Structure 1
Amino acid sequence: MSRPLIGISTYLEDEARWGVWTLPAAVLPAGYHRMAQRAGGLAALLPPDTAAAAAGAVARLDGLVIAGGADVAPARYGAEVHPRTGPPNEARDTWELALIEAALDGGVPLLGVCRGLQLLNVLRGGTLVQHLDGHAGPPGVFGRHAVEPVPGTALAAVLPEPVSVPTYHHQSVDRLGRGLLPSGHAEDGTVEALELPDARAFTLAVQWHPEAGDDDRLMAALVAAARERSAAR
């Protein structure tokens, strides 16, 4: 059986360096595509494009990953900018929100990571806590903490036991978006996973960074759902 095609969103950097070059580039930590490959997927990187292009791109995929990254613009959920909120990336927000919407509309399996969870919540009308402490290591270093899956959820079906996860975020879910179910929590009560029970396909988002660890079960679940979609097509 052919490997299902897993699209992974990337972001643009004005100055990326490799060899003798310093140029604008679409970048993504290698942990994402390596995790997809280990789980049996064929990784395709999705640099920002127009919102109008999202539906066509997603229609060609068997599964979609929305990667972590910069803070979501507070204007997207009707909030003033907190002093600790990072600068907005409007092009990336527009592209990834359109990708998520296209996946939900098209029944394409979806895995959100960190920012991906936050965007899913915002797309469904939710809001974000713009700053909290204790969920990251020093700058550029992942912290770790425990996550408790909620019994009976899709997350618990993939991760049936409490897990220690790599984490690097300072924002989190505040008001829940429409239809979303919190399916994992940190010890301080922070929502660490969301799912959409009414979605047409596997739809799960986590606040931590599975690509930075060695537990591929979430990606394996996405790839399994993507393989089913591929076979059905």
Structure 2
Amino acid sequence: MVDGPLIGVSTYREVARWGVWELPAALLPAGYPRLVQAAGGLAALLPPDDPAHAVAAVARFDGLVIAGGPDVEPGRYGAEPEPGTGAPARARDAWELALIGAALTAGTPLLGICRGMQLLNVALGGTLVQHLDGHAEAVGVFGTHPVTAVPGTRYGALAPGTTSVPTYHHQAVARLGAGLVASAHAPDGTVEAVELPGARWVLGVQWHPEMGEDLRVVRGLVAASAGS
């Protein structure tokens, strides 16, 4: 594609302030579209919608990114909320799970980032650790830690060895969803990347590549979305 593949990036609805206005808005940190653009794709922001529209929405895109955000509601994976688990974002859970399901069915290349990786795991029947320490510097502050790729995986081919990544999360994969394999780990053993062997291109990463300059993961998505 001369202009690059069209990559949809999920957004979320929040009250925002700009100029003289304070109104509900469909928001996305600018790092997400910047990352897609820097990797050679065209970024399209995908606002929240009725889950019934997910199949039609995904059909318009060459690839899909599910962005980071709040905790997944524990009921989605058969658990009760634990202390420290955030308030549910039920409409967002429903919409983004529908997007993931539509992408998996259509074979649309899919990248889940942080919450997006956790949702991918839940969509395939996996569970989550509702709280772990040491994966965020402080409230509202991104930290870094090393992740080590599993040799022989898709992620391992994109970024072999150990890489320092931007990180901010307190939840993680517990039981892997059906068909998923772990393709990177933190030093404490936390699963930091998952992928779906046999699918066209499905990868989830626990960290926030949009907060750094490493384009390897998103270049992989863009290449797959372009059919290369």
Q: TM-score, normalised by structure 2?
A: 0.98
> In the TM superposition, what whole-angstrom CA distance separates every residue of 1:173-214 from its partner, at most 9, and x where no partner exists?
011110000000000000000000021x11000000000001
User: Secondary structure of 2:192's partner?
Assistant: strand
Q: TM-score, normalised by structure 1?
A: 0.96
Written as runs of structure 1 = structure 2, the 5 A alignment for 1:158-169 is: 158-169=158-169
Show structure 1 runs of 5+ residues with no match: none
Equivalence for 1:6: 7
Equivalence for 2:97: 97
- Deviating above 3 A after TM superposition, structure 1's stretches of 4 or more consecutive aligned residues are none
Equivalence for 1:72: 72
Equivalence for 1:37: 37
How many residues were matched structurally? Answer: 227
Paired letter, 1:123: A
Equivalence for 2:61: 61
User: Secondary structure of 2:65's partner?
Assistant: strand
Report the CA distance between 1:132 and its aligned residue: 0.4
1:180 is the counterpart of 2:180: yes
User: Secondary structure of 2:61's partner?
Assistant: coil
Written as runs of structure 1 = structure 2, the 5 A alignment for 1:15-164 is: 15-164=15-164
Question: For residues 53 and 117 of structure 2, what CA distance do their matches in structure 1 show?
Answer: 22
Equivalence for 1:209: 208
Paired letter, 2:169: H
User: Secondary structure of 1:138's partner?
Assistant: coil
Question: For residues 186 and 145 of structure 2, what CA distance do their matches in structure 1 show?
Answer: 7
User: Secondary structure of 1:228's partner?
Assistant: coil
Show structure 2 runs of 5+ residues with no match: none
Question: For residues 221 and 203 of structure 1, what CA distance do their matches in structure 2 show?
Answer: 10
Percent same amino acid among aligned pairs? 67
User: Secondary structure of 1:35's partner?
Assistant: helix
C-alpha RMSD over aligned residues: 0.8
Paired letter, 2:151: P
User: Secondary structure of 1:23's partner?
Assistant: strand
Report the CA distance between 1:161 and its aligned residue: 2.1
Question: For residues 155 and 202 of structure 1, what CA distance do their matches in structure 2 show?
Answer: 11
User: Secondary structure of 1:179's partner?
Assistant: coil
Equivalence for 1:198: 198
